[in-house]
């Protein structure tokens, strides 16, 4: 199995956590998003959309982080990343999608580039954009986690799963961009519980082979 990944891609980070929790060995090939590797013909032949991650399993190329994670969960069921009951599964997927749909797509490199290059946003304006949308996403996740029946040591119960593997990159990314984290005590409490789990801690961007010494 081979994962096309980039150390600071938050979507790749989700898949790395899933692979680690499942104990799946996987080669990693770096696609340097800031250097433009995603536009090379060699990568376009793997994934026609110039984004990471992509996962190759045998002859199949999988794309989009949550589709990949669900595939891993269906083909390697232990430990499960989703609860067994439909209501619990919907809650976990819903919390995950707040990160993967409503939050992260707004701050990816191609959007930051468009904002600063095409729209000439200042550094301050870019930071305000990032904090606004990362904050809105975290606030929505916090509301579900703080009020929700179902929240346990992790986002849903006492085993890390699909929602946690979205929450952790969301928080790591938010901190990288200097977002204040005080308004999200439940999310931060769960984040700390996640970081005490070795397979999750090992997926951190700074622990990846392509993390640059001068970053």
Residues 6+ apart with CB under 8 A from 30: 5, 6, 7, 37, 209, 210
User: Which of 34, 35, 36, 125 lies at the binding interface for a copy of itself (CB under 8 A)?
Assistant: 125
Of residues 30 and 64, the one with the C-beta less far from a copy of itself: 64
Applying CB under 8 A, which part among 16-24, 114-122, 151-159, 195-203 lies near a copy of itself? Answer: 114-122
CA nearest to 199, candidates 163, 151, 170, 164? 164
Of 12-20, 21-29, 32-40, 113-121: span binding a copy of itself (CB under 8 A): 113-121
CB of 213 to a copy of itself, least distance (A): 31
| Residue of the chain from 62, 134, 187, 190 that contacts a copy of itself (CB under 8 A) | 62
For the bound state, the minimum distance from the C-beta of residue 159 to a copy of itself, rounded and expressed in Å, comes to 19
187/144 Cα distance (integer angstroms): 10
Q: Is 40 in the site for a copy of itself (CB under 8 A)?
A: no
Place of tokens 């290059």: 117
Question: Of the candidates 34, 49, 176, 212, which one interacts with a copy of itself according to CB under 8 A?
Answer: 49
Q: Are 98 and 143 in contact (CB under 8 A)?
A: no
Q: How far apart are CA 105 and CA 112, in angstroms?
A: 10
Q: Least distance from C-beta 143 to a copy of itself, angstroms?
A: 3
Q: Binding a copy of itself by CB under 8 A: which of 24, 102, 116, 204?
A: 102
- The answer to whether 2 contacts a copy of itself (rule: CB under 8 A) is no
Distance in Å from the first CA to the final CA of the chain: 28
Q: Which of 67, 152, 183, 211 binds a copy of itself (CB under 8 A)?
A: 67
DSSP letter (8 states) at residue 207: G
Of 132, 178, 202, 207, the one binding a copy of itself by CB under 8 A: 132
Long-range contacts of 19-23 (CB under 8 A, 24+ apart): 19/72, 19/203, 20/199, 20/200, 20/202, 20/203, 21/79, 21/81, 21/160, 21/165, 21/197, 21/199, 21/200, 22/72, 22/76, 22/78, 22/79, 23/199
Residues binding a copy of itself (CB under 8 A): 48-49, 51, 60, 62-64, 66-68, 70-71, 74-75, 86-87, 89-91, 93-94, 96-98, 100-102, 104-106, 111, 114, 118-119, 121, 125, 128-129, 132, 140, 143-144, 147
């Amino acid at each position: 199995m081979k994962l096309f990944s980039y150390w600071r891609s938050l979507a790749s980070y989700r898949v790395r956590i899933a692979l680690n929790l499942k104990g799946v060995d996987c080669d990693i090939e770096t696609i340097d998003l800031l250097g433009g590797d995603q536009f090379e013909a060699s990568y376009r032949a793997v994934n026609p959309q110039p984004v990471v991650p992509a996962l190759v399993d045998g002859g199949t190329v999988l794309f989009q982080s949550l589709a990949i994670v669900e595939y891993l969960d269906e083909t390697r069921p232990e430990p499960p990343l989703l609860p067994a009951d439909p209501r619990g599964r919907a809650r976990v997927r819903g919390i995950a999608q707040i990160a993967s749909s409503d939050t992260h797509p707004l701050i990816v490199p191609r959007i930051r580039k468009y904002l600063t290059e095409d729209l000439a946003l200042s550094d301050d304006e870019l930071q305000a954009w990032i904090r606004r949308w990362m904050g809105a996403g975290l606030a929505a996740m916090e509301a579900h986690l703080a009020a929700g029946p179902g929240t346990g040591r992790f986002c849903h119960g006492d085993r890390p799963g699909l929602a946690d593997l979205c929450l952790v990159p969301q928080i790591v990314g938010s901190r990288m961009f200097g977002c204040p984290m005080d308004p999200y005590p439940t999310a931060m409490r769960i984040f700390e519980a996640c970081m005490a789990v070795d397979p999750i801690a090992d997926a951190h961007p700074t622990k990846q082979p392509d993390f640059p010494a001068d970053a």
